[in-house]
């Protein structure tokens, strides 16, 4: 019995050892295969790295010849943009030297002439001044066909006015009706008020330069009467200068007292001497196209003062501008001339065409010699009666 049991256990022990060896062999095979696979992958990665390094060296050595077609097109496009940018920078530099003048004027749908004009004249007027405007139309501005003929000669003249604070009231309707009859207004989208005069002047220049291409832009008050031929000749004499500010140059006291009629709220900016810088008197002055363009471009940041002529002068202080002190533009009774008043009545249109630029406000209550008769004179100033629209007093040079 003992030997039988012993013989039964021996085969079982041998089978277990056999299975253990097979398992070990299989594991060894798997380990070997895994090792070979990992080694192969590492070798392949190493070859890829070597290939990439070689390609990098080749690309570096060949330079642009190794760039793809798409990349080549991108490079060419960039070069073209660089050339365009350089050309634009050169144009901008040239424009700055000419005085901020753009090559193209903005289109506003108007029928204005494309030929460059000599001057655009804005006559600054306000509500209740129709008789002044009618007198100017009869005297030198003209109307209808005469106004168009003047434009053909290169001079555009328009009355400049804003809108009533109460939009579409009787004041606005009167101007609209007059404009429909005469077609000689620039109606600005600004409130028509004395305290808005400086803004009104600024936006006149903005409107004018965006509507007409002219050598000069002229501001005139509606109590100043212009000899168009003389004005044209004076402006033409300075058309070769790129940045011209022309007028009767003056300075004057800055008033810091709020009760004074000429009170300047920003008086402290003018220093301890309280004197305005040199600027053109507000009755009439002209600026060249470059300066009008400058105003248009910088309209939102240009400072205004209590007086429109001071405001205009301040805009050009820091610029390379030619200040022209043109004495024909002077309308002040302090002008150093020996003169006297001659009392007269008559048609304004028959006498004004012989005069120089400016009318002058004299006190018509001053006695004047009545025995004199009027002879057209090349140098004269006069005053309109505010109601009748005819000449009431005249100053002649003796």
Q: Which domains does the chain have, with CATH numbers?
A: 117-329 (3.90.550.50), 339-397 (no CATH)
Structure confidence by residue, pLDDT tens digits, 370-383: 333 333 333 444 44
Q: Which residue has the higher pLDDT, 331 or 106?
A: 331
Q: Is the pLDDT of residue 362 over 70?
A: no
Structure confidence by residue, pLDDT tens digits, 175-212: 999 999 999 999 999 999 988 999 999 999 999 999 99
Q: Is the pLDDT of residue 174 over 70?
A: yes
Q: Is the pLDDT of residue 261 over 80?
A: no
pLDDT band at 233 (very low <50, low <70, confident <90, very high): very high
Structure confidence by residue, pLDDT tens digits, 63-99: 555 556 667 677 777 877 777 777 776 766 666 555 5
Q: What is the mean pLDDT of the chain?
A: 74
Q: Which residue has the higher pLDDT, 317 or 6?
A: 317
pLDDT band at 337 (very low <50, low <70, confident <90, very high): very low
pLDDT at 60: 62
pLDDT at 316: 92
pLDDT at 389: 43
Q: End-to-end CA distance of the chain, in Å?
A: 170
Q: Is the pLDDT of residue 334 over 60?
A: no
pLDDT at 69: 64
Structure confidence by residue, pLDDT tens digits, 5-50: 455 554 555 555 666 777 778 788 878 887 777 776 677 666 676 7
Mean pLDDT of the region 93-111? 51
pLDDT band at 341 (very low <50, low <70, confident <90, very high): very low
Q: What's the pTM value of the predicted model, to 2 decimals?
A: 0.59
Q: Which residue has the higher pLDDT, 268 or 326?
A: 326
pLDDT at 154: 95
Mean pLDDT of the region 270-286? 80
pLDDT at 100: 52
């Amino acid at each position: 019995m003992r030997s039988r049991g012993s013989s039964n256990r021996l085969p079982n022990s041998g089978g277990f050892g056999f299975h253990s060896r097979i398992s070990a062999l299989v594991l060894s095979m798997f380990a070997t295969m895994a090792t070979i696979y990992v080694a192969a992958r590492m070798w392949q990665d190493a070859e890829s790295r070597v290939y990439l390094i070689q390609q990098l060296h080749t690309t570096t050595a060949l330079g642009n010849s190794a760039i793809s077609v798409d990349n080549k097109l991108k490079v060419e496009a960039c070069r073209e943009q660089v050339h365009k940018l350089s050309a634009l920078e050169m144009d901008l530099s040239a424009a700055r030297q000419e005085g901020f003048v753009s090559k193209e004027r903005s289109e506003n749908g108007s029928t204005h002439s494309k030929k460059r004009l000599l001057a655009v004249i804005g006559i600054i007027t306000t509500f209740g001044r129709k008789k002044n405007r009618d007198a100017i139309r009869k005297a030198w501005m003209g109307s209808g066909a005469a106004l168009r003929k003047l434009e053909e000669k290169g001079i555009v003249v328009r009355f400049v006015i804003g809108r009533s604070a109460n939009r579409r009231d009787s004041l606005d309707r009167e101007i609209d009706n007059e404009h429909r009859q005469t077609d000689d207004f620039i109606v600005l989208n600004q409130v028509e008020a004395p305290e808005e005069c400086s803004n009104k002047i600024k936006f006149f220049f903005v409107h004018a330069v965006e509507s007409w291409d002219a050598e000069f832009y002229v501001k005139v008050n509606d109590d100043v009467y212009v000899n168009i031929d003389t004005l044209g000749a004076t402006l033409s004499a300075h058309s070769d200068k790129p940045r011209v500010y022309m007028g009767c140059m003056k300075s004057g006291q800055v008033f810091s007292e709020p009760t004074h009629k000429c009170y300047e709220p920003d008086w402290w900016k003018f220093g301890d001497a309280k004197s305005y810088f040199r600027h053109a008197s507000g009755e009439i002055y002209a600026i060249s196209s470059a300066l009008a363009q400058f105003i248009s471009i910088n309209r939102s940041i240009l400072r205004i003062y209590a007086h429109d002529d001071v405001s205009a002068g301040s805009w050009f202080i820091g610029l390379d501008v030619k200040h022209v002190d043109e004495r024909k533009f002077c309308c002040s009774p302090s002008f150093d001339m020996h003169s006297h008043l001659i009392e007269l009545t008559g048609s304004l249109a028959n006498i004004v065409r012989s005069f120089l630029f400016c009318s002058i406000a004299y006190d018509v209550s001053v006695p004047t010699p009545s025995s004199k008769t009027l002879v057209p004179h090349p140098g004269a100033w006069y005053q309109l009666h505010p109601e009748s629209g005819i000449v009431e007093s005249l100053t002649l040079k003796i």
